[in-house]
């Protein structure tokens, strides 16, 4: 126990992602944040985040992990609200912090249960003894409580609501914390604790269901977003769902592989979006973009790589990653998972195609789009490097000896195998799905033959509902937030202010009166003092006399 650290294949993979992508994003931020009055503070927060993130993945026990876990939560809060002079940003930061705290609190209960059962938080000790110490029910309880933490941190349904709002932070923050690293901590937690999840079985099913639901649900939301960063935020939630999907099927190596691939292309997409926003003078609305491929050629090229990678076009990273998940689902006989995963994949190709065509093709739809300018090298060099990564990260699985999953096998166990349709056929189907999705987006948004604005209006109220995340936020507000606020108001202004404070003030006033009275007894005359002494003496004597 204590502050032990541990380096194994899983944490090594995480470290490489954090430091590698983190370094590129830092370089990018040099340009992106230039001129900000709190430039220094931004980088100190970012580095504090990297410190806590490394602590999280390097800890050899749940205590260190938890410290890192809370530390990254704090940094996330500080960075989302970095431009806190806009009240909405501060609100978003609070929302992110409080929402994840719900998961964190449950996770803390889970850790307490582990201490209670095992007397230690050390990974080796807990996983070694888990089989003998835990009953199935106890394992389920612990695993689900830990998973609650993961749900909060990785923005899974039903605690996903904070991540779209977290886009209020500077774009490098979104890329590093809310795409590549922090939000994947939940995946890391599940992979790290897979022994406990497997002991339970039920917990794994929950992970799978949450992953599938999130992947599809978030993808539907992403399709309707108007803000380029919110599209990517919902996209991230959806992709994290894929990772949990893999983990829920015991394919932890695949989950980690997905994590690595996703880190590359999602960071790339976010930074590309940042470059667009930068070039358009802080414009984020897709409806005011268009035709930017001529003005921002490098950004366009790199963004295209990222989008195609996530859409699942071979041989880019996303193709292999998504394919691996669907392959496991198909081969282990989970047809429903396979079908829903394919739908999510279709939607993800669709919304990325939408972003791509609305942003870079067609005619500029605003003055800002017409005046946009290409990013300086300090912004596009990291983009280029990430584009190379996003293009090639998938090859990690190509050769048997180079497989990332093989490297991780010592910790995660082998990827479940089974009988099913040939891998090549699955790949072909997936590619076709992606191509169809991209083609339909070209037809709707790129060809100019469809009035996509009118099309959207004809579909109302569906797009509006999807834009608003299917009103989950509003439901939470009505069902939970407002009653809680009302309760807090009653506690603060009725119970505390009137009843408790009133009582305290009354007592205080009474005591003060008594004090003044007592002060008047202190006349300053010796004879009065002597009388008090005498009074006390006689009182004691009478008491003793009466008693005996």
Partner 1 sequence: MIPTPALEFRPILPEILLCTFAIVGMLYEAFARRPDPVPHLAIAIVGIGPAAVTAYALWDWSGPSYVLGDTVAVDRFSVVSRFVLLGAAFVGCLYYTHYASRDPGSFRGEFYPLTLFATAGMTLITAANDLIVIFLALELLSLSLYVLTGITGRRRASEAAMKYFLLGAFSSAFFLYGVAMAYGAATSTKIVGVAAPGIVQALAGQTGSQALALLAMALLVVGFAFKVSAAPFHMWTPDVYQGAPTPVVAFMGAATKVAAFFALIRVFDVGLQPLTWDWTPVIYGLAVVSIVVGSVVAIAQRDVKRLLAYSSIAHAGFILTGLTAANSTGIGAAMFYLVAYAVVTLGAFGIVMLVSARGEEQTSLDAYAGLARRSPGLAALMTVFLLSLGGIPPTAGFIAKVTVFSAAIGAGNWPLAVVGVVASVVAAYFYVRVIVYMYMREPAEGIESDDGVMPRIAAGVLAAGIVVLGIFPGILTGILEPASIVRW
Partner 2 sequence: MPLDNIVFWVFAPISIASAIGMLLVRNAVHAALFLIVNFFCLAVFYLLLDAPFLFAVQIVVYAGAIMVLFLFVIMLLGVDSGVPIHERLLVQRPLAFLLGAAFVVEMFLAIRAGVGFATKAPAVFTANEGGNTQAVAKILFTQYFFPFEVTSVLLLVAAIAAMVLAHRKARTVTQAEIDAAAGEPDTEEMPVYGAEAAP
Place of tokens 């039903």: 158
Q: Give the tokens for residue 79.
A: 């960075």
Which DSSP state fits 285?
A: B
- 546 counts as binding partner 1 under rule CB under 8 A: no
Q: Which stretch binds partner 1 (CB under 8 A): 104-112, 352-360, 475-483, 531-539?
A: 531-539
Shorter beta-carbon distance to partner 1: residue 449 or 547: 547
- What's the min distance (Å) between Cβ of 511 and partner 2? 23
- Using CA atoms, how far apart are residues 392 and 415, in angstroms rounded to an integer? 22
- 423 counts as binding partner 2 under rule CB under 8 A: no
- Using CA atoms, how far apart are residues 334 and 356, in angstroms rounded to an integer? 33
Which residue intervals of 280-311 are DSSP H helices?
292-295, 297-311
Q: Which of 423, 480, 507, 538 binds partner 2 (CB under 8 A)?
A: 538
Query: How many CA atoms within 13 Å lie on the side-chain side of 416?
Result: 21
| Rg of the Cα atoms in the chain | 29
- What's the min distance (Å) between Cβ of 514 and partner 2? 18
- 523 counts as binding partner 2 under rule CB under 8 A: yes
Contact of residue 458 among partner 2, partner 1, none (CB under 5-8 Å per partner type): none
- 540 counts as binding partner 1 under rule CB under 8 A: yes
Q: Which stretch binds partner 2 (CB under 8 A): 17-25, 250-258, 440-448, 519-527?
A: 519-527
Shorter beta-carbon distance to partner 1: residue 34 or 530: 530
- 526 counts as binding partner 1 under rule CB under 8 A: yes
Q: Give the tokens for residue 497.
A: 């202010």
Place of tokens 């504090």: 48
Q: How far apart are the first and last CA of the chain?
A: 64
Q: How many residues bind partner 2 (CB under 8 A)?
A: 12
- 522 counts as binding partner 2 under rule CB under 8 A: no
Contact of residue 454 among partner 2, partner 1, none (CB under 5-8 Å per partner type): none
| Per-residue contact string for residues 380-419; x = within reach of partner 1 by CB under 8 A | ----------------------------------------
Q: Give the tokens for residue 284.
A: 């984020």
Apex 135 CA angle, 133 and 136, nearest 5: 135
The residue among 416, 339, 378, 365 whose CA lies nearest residue 24 is 378
- 529 counts as binding partner 1 under rule CB under 8 A: yes
- What's the min distance (Å) between Cβ of 528 and partner 1? 7
- 537 counts as binding partner 2 under rule CB under 8 A: yes
| Per-residue contact string for residues 479-508; x = within reach of partner 1 by CB under 8 A | -----------------------------x
Q: What single string gives the DSSP state of each residue in 318-377?
A: HHHHHHHHHHHHHHTT-HHHHHHHHHHHHHHHHHHHHHHHHHHSS---SHHHHT--PPPH
Which DSSP state fits 158?
A: T
- What's the min distance (Å) between Cβ of 536 and partner 2? 10
Counting beta carbons within 10 angstroms of the beta carbon of residue 94, is it exposed (0 to 12), middle (13 to 18) or buried (19 or more)? middle
- Using CA atoms, how far apart are residues 40 and 46, in angstroms rounded to an integer? 10
Q: Which stretch binds partner 2 (CB under 8 A): 71-79, 267-275, 481-489, 539-547?
A: 539-547
Shorter beta-carbon distance to partner 1: residue 487 or 536: 536
- Using CA atoms, how far apart are residues 278 and 234, in angstroms rounded to an integer? 21
- What's the min distance (Å) between Cβ of 267 and partner 1? 47
- 527 counts as binding partner 2 under rule CB under 8 A: yes
- Using CA atoms, how far apart are residues 275 and 88, in angstroms rounded to an integer? 23
Residues near partner 1 (CB under 8 A):
508, 511-512, 514-516, 518-519, 522, 524, 526, 528-530, 532-537, 540-541, 543-545, 547-548
Residues near partner 2 (CB under 8 A):
523, 525, 527-528, 531, 534-535, 537-538, 541-542, 545
């Amino acid at each position: 126990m204590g502050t032990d650290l541990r380096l194994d294949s899983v944490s090594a993979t995480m470290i490489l992602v954090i430091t590698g992508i983190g370094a590129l994003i830092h370089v990018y931020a040099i340009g992106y944040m230039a001129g900000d009055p709190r430039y220094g503070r931004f980088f100190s927060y970012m580095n504090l985040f990297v410190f806590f993130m490394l602590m999280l993945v390097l800890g050899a026990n749940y205590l260190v992990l938890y410290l890192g876990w809370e530390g990254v939560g704090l940094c996330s809060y500080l960075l989302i609200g970095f431009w806190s002079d806009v009240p909405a940003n501060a609100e978003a930061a609070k929302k992110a912090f409080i929402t994840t705290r719900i998961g964190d609190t449950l996770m803390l209960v889970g850790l307490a249960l582990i201490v209670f059962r095992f007397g230690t938080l050390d990974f080796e000790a807990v996983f070694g003894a888990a089989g003998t110490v835990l009953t199935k029910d106890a394992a389920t309880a612990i695993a689900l409580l830990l998973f609650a933490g993961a749900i909060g941190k990785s923005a899974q349904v039903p605690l996903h609501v904070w991540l779209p709002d977290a886009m209020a932070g500077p774009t490098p923050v979104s890329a590093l914390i809310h795409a590549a690293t922090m939000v994947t901590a939940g995946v890391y937690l599940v992979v790290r604790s897979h022994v406990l999840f497997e002991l339970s079985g039920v917990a794994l099913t929950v992970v799978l269901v949450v992953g599938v639901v999130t992947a599809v649900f978030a993808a539907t939301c992403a399709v309707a977003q108007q803000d380029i960063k919110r599209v990517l935020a919902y996209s991230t939630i959806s992709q994290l769902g894929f990772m949990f999907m893999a983990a829920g099927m015991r394919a932890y190596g695949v989950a980690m592989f997905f994590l690595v691939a996703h880190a590359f292309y999602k960071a790339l997409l976010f930074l590309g979006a940042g470059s667009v926003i930068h070039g358009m003078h802080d414009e984020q609305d897709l409806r005011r973009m268009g035709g930017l491929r001529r003005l921002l050629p490098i950004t366009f090229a790199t963004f295209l790589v990222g989008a195609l990678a996530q859409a699942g076009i071979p041989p880019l990273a996303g193709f292999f990653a998504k394919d691996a998940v669907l392959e496991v689902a198909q081969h282990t006989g989970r047809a429903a998972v396979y079908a829903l995963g394919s739908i999510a994949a279709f939607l993800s190709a669709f919304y990325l195609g939408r972003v791509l065509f609305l942003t870079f093709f067609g005619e500029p739809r605003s003055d800002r789009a017409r005046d946009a300018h290409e990013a300086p090298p300090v912004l596009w060099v990291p983009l280029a490097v990430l584009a190379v990564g996003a293009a090639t990260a998938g090859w990690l699985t190509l050769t048997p000896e180079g497989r990332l999953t093989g490297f991780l096998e010592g910790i995660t166990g082998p990827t479940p195998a089974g009988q099913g349709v040939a891998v090549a056929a699955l790949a072909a189907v997936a590619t076709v799905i992606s191509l169809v999705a991209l083609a339909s987006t070209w037809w709707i948004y790129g060809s100019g033959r469809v009035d996509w604005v009118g099309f959207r209006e004809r579909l109302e109220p569906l797009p509006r509902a999807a834009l608003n995340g299917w009103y989950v936020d509003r439901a939470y507000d009505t069902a939970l937030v407002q009653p809680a606020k009302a309760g807090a108001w009653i506690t603060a202004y009725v119970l505390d202010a009137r009843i408790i404070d009133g009582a305290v003030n009354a007592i205080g006033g009474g005591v003060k009166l008594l004090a003044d009275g007592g002060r008047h007894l202190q006349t300053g005359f010796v004879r009065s003092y002597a009388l008090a002494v005498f009074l006390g003496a006689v009182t004691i004597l009478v008491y003793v006399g009466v008693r005996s």
